[in-house]
Amino acid sequence: MAKTVDLIAETAEPSQEMQPRSLTSGVEALREEGAVLRIPNLPEGVDELPTEDETMIINMGPQHPSTHGVLRLMLELDGETVLRSKPIIGYLHTGMEKTGEDLTYLQGTTNTTRMDYLAPLFNELVFSLAAEKLLDVEIPERATWIRMLMTELNRISSHFTFLATNGMDLGASTMMIFGFREREALLAFFEKCSGLRMNHNYIRVGGVAADLPDGWRDDVLFLLDDLPERLIDYDTLFTGQTIWQERSQGVGVLTADEAIALGVTGPILRATGVPWDLRRTMPYLFYDQVDFDVVVGTYGDTFDRYAIRVNEIRESIRIVRQILERLPKGDYRVQDKKVTPPPRARIDESMEALIHHFKLFTEGLKVPEGEVYVPIESPRGELGCYMVSDGTAKPYRMHIRGPSFVNLQALPHLMHGGLVADAVAVISSCDPVLGEVDR
């Protein structure tokens, strides 16, 4: 007789919710207190552990406006002080990785682009780079430069959204209006290139979907002249402003060792002083050919995380200027008949072109067997794509290593001992995008 297995008990996850201390295991309590490299002591200002009827476990989110989407936090509070915290995710889970197994490599970018919706071009890029590594094709230079141009502009727009939401969370509504205003101009450029403000499906396996539109150079030059001027306003209003400094300095401090132990990447890691930027440490595209600085912070607090992003916008502008000078002419999609559909004019001329056109748009492009992991530096950190191909036109497995997801691990540590109001500052300075966290 086979042993009966209670499938529900075997597969069901235990409740994710935060329990009172008496019901929480030691490891779990340490995790919720944000212990990283040390046994957490009681937060400063708290002498002894309050009894359970003195503390309160409250929910923050998933509908709270400052949790950036549908992040749910459970906080154990002693008055205004956060003793333990637990991020609960999954409210935006749409099974995108599984969906990716059912879409061809041509369709795949329409799906991955929706993960980190503030930096859609990075999702498309990482998916395309992974598939291209398996295909072993050489991408035309113009395509690579266009990819760099678009992703750097996307980094700027993503950081402006961060500035907008960060400002709003801390009560600076001017910053929100400013941030979204600047972002809108960048989105107008994306709309002009790809026809869509977000979720562009512009970077494809093999190159980019379309060449840059007529008049694009004037647009980019306008942005390059306009944005630095506006950043001066940001510095006056916030970076150099006493109110802003006092609100954000020393809040949510993370040290370099802790950041590395938590697997944190991107501006949060760099704020602690670690110069880890994949564009510099593991160059992809042509980042080894452009000149830029990796911005690092000193204290690893909310202010540093803010200041790094402001200065990364300046570095991105510097990169875009160099791209404008170096952008070559030529093809912008690999001219491999098995990867790229033929030019539309060829469909009427050549039977073979028509067959390739039909094959590519129905069956898709076949990718050789193998598995790869490709990381890139998204505005939020290391964005990686792990892809397994079984030789068919659809990925056997497509996994995205979302920086927002990993960075969320740092929240309990950053919030431990802080005030509820500072918890808001901490979430916002981590800049999570829940579409990417849950996928």
Partner 1 sequence: MGYFEGFRVTFEQLFRPRVTIQYPEEKRPKALRFHGRHVLNKYEDGMEKCIGCELCAGVCPARCIHVRGLDNPPDAPVSPGERYGFVYEINYLRCIHCDLCVEACPTEAITESKLFEFSFSNRQDAIYTKDELLVADDGQPKHLPWEDWREGEDLHTSAWVRATAPNGDADYEGRVAWSAELGYGVRPPEAGQLGDDDAGAPIDDITVEQVAEGGHH
**Interface positions with partner 1 (CB under 8 A):** 103, 106-107, 110-111, 140, 142-143, 174, 181, 184-186, 188-189, 191-196, 199, 201, 206-211, 213-215, 217-219, 222-223, 226, 233, 236-237, 240-243, 329-335, 340-348, 354, 357-358, 361-362
Least distance in angstroms from the C-beta of 175 to partner 1: 11
β-bridge mates for residue 419, sequence order: 81
Which residue's CB is nearer to partner 1, number 16 or number 236? 236
Cβ contacts of 63 within 8 Å, gap of 6 or more: 70
Least distance in angstroms from the C-beta of 373 to partner 1: 24
Dmax over CA atoms of the chain, in Å, equals: 82
Least distance in angstroms from the C-beta of 326 to partner 1: 13
Instruction: Supply the Cα-derived Rg of the chain in whole angstroms.
Output: 23
Query: How remote is the C-alpha of 353 from its chain's centroid?
Result: 38
Least distance in angstroms from the C-beta of 13 to partner 1: 30
Cβ contacts of 249 within 8 Å, gap of 6 or more: 299, 301, 302, 303
Give the side-chain half-sphere CA count within 13 A for 81: 15
Site of tokens 């497509």? 398
Least distance in angstroms from the C-beta of 191 to partner 1: 5
Least distance in angstroms from the C-beta of 219 to partner 1: 4
Cβ contacts of 328 within 8 Å, gap of 6 or more: 141, 142, 145
How far is 82 from 126, CA to CA, in rounded Å?
A: 37
Which residue's CB is nearer to partner 1, number 35 or number 196? 196
β-bridge mates for residue 208, sequence order: 203
| Selection from 405, 423, 403 nearest residue 415 by Cα | 423
Which residue's CB is nearer to partner 1, number 30 or number 354? 354
Which residue's CB is nearer to partner 1, number 154 or number 194? 194
Which residue's CB is nearer to partner 1, number 213 or number 391? 213
Least distance in angstroms from the C-beta of 417 to partner 1: 30
Which residue's CB is nearer to partner 1, number 340 or number 407? 340
Which residue's CB is nearer to partner 1, number 305 or number 357? 357
Per-residue tokens: 302: 């909310």
Write the single-letter amino acid at 96. Answer: M
C-beta separation of 210 from 343 below 8 A: no
